[in-house]
Structure 1
Amino acid sequence: MTVVESVLARVPGPLRKVLIKHREMLKFAIVGGTTFVIDNVIWYVLKFTVLEDKPITAKAIAVIVATIVSYILNREWSFRTRGGRETHHEAALFFLISGGGVAINLIPPYISRYVLDLETPHVSLLVQEIADFASGSILGMLLAMFFRFWGFRKWVFPDELGAREGTRVYDEDEPDTESEEALGHS
């Protein structure tokens, strides 16, 4: 029994159907949570060490590293039943959409720092850091996440190309007898 099957076995039936129906979005959110942690750890390490005077550059580097991890996890897990393009074409589209996401992600912290002047010496260090986190790690990331999910489903991993070889595709309208049997609910 896989980890997913063991978790689903503990979830009540109606909720299990919702989770299965929206599994791509749920997996995308889990990947997003993972890359959120990666992004913020790298951002704060860079921002408080080698790029102390360049917080937007530090954020850009952190987002790029998190995006590379995101590509691997989304391709192999979140959208594994979608796509079918040649890997180089798919990767190019992924990074193009992600580039748009990086730009969207950087707009709120840029506005916070350079338009609203929420940086030292205009405000305290605490206010600056709260503004950076709220604008870059919350608002910017949420805006970029919605853009990426839409772009990935539409252009990078479109359903029209069919499933990748060796993956199981679940039809939402028919019962998932294989998973039900694996869970002991036949």
Structure 2
Amino acid sequence: MRILRELLTKHRELLRFAVVGGISFLITTAITYVLKFTVLRTHPVTALIVGVLVATIFSYVANREWSFRTRGGRERAHEAALFFLISGIALGLNALPQWVSRYVLDLQEPHLTLLGQEVADFVSGMILGTLLGTLFRWWAFKKWVFPTEGARLETVSGSQSGDPDITGRKAA
């Protein structure tokens, strides 16, 4: 039990990133399939892109305030711009496998049944695409968006109690 606790503590940031990613995956999946079976029936890749975009907005807030809450090193506007630039690249990586599945391998109706098409879309877009995008995001966020470990203290409100403020100085 102690070893598991140490492992979880050591990889807390990764686990939090995975939780945010899991929630983002659910957001992406829900929005993608609602759009795909309603207003974007003939544009499944566009439906996936919209789902990923909405999940990315959630992801920025959750990753900044929870997963990487002690990391920083950049001005917020610069940090946000890098986050969304990297997320845009990851969005392309996320959509690429489904685009290949649909338009290069032609895994769609009439060459497949509707069920076969949906399984191909799910595996290529939701599984492979999400995996590619997530691996890229994890690496890029730590390298460029939130590069400095310990740049932000865990609490900002501590300045009232004499605890260090966000700059690390004690309040008077």
State the TM-score, normalized to the length of structure 1: 0.81
Query: For residue 143 of structure 1, what is the aligned residue in structure 2?
Result: 132
1:84 Cα offset (Å): 3.5
Q: Structure 2: how far apart are the matches of 1:50 and 1:27? A: 34
Query: For residue 145 of structure 2, what is the aligned residue in structure 1?
Result: 156
Q: Equivalent pairs: percent with the same residue? A: 62
Query: For residue 40 of structure 1, what is the aligned residue in structure 2?
Result: 29
One-letter identity of the residue aligned with 1:152: F
> Which ranges of structure 2 fall in alignment gaps of 5 or more residues?
157-172
**Aligned residue pair count:** 156
1:92 Cα offset (Å): 0.2
Q: Structure 1: how far apart are the matches of 2:88 and 2:103? A: 21
Matched, 1:79 2:73: no
* More divergent stretch after superposition (142-151 vs 81-90): 81-90
Q: Structure 2: how far apart are the matches of 1:84 and 1:103? A: 27
Please report the RMSD computed on the Cα atoms of aligned residues, expressed in angstroms.
1.3
Q: What does residue range 158-173 of structure 1 map to in structure 2 within 5 Å?
A: 158-159=147-148, 162-167=150-155
Q: What does residue range 75-154 of structure 1 map to in structure 2 within 5 Å?
A: 75-154=64-143
Query: For residue 177 of structure 1, what is the aligned residue in structure 2?
Result: none
1:167 Cα offset (Å): 4.0
Q: SS where residue 20 of structure 2 aligns?
A: helix
Q: What does residue range 13-92 of structure 1 map to in structure 2 within 5 Å?
A: 13-92=2-81
1:163 Cα offset (Å): 2.0
Contact 1:80–1:167, Cα closer than 8 Å, also in 2: no
1:166 Cα offset (Å): 4.5
1:48 Cα offset (Å): 0.2
1:86 Cα offset (Å): 1.5
One-letter identity of the residue aligned with 1:137: M
**Per-residue deviation, residues 33-81 of structure 1 (Å, max 9, x unmatched):** 0000000000000000000011111111000000110001000000000
One-letter identity of the residue aligned with 1:85: R
Query: For residue 167 of structure 2, what is the aligned residue in structure 1?
Result: none
> Which ranges of structure 1 fall in alignment gaps of 5 or more residues?
1-11, 169-186
1:96 Cα offset (Å): 0.6
Point out which structure has higher relative CO (alpha carbons under 8 A, 6+ apart). Answer: 1
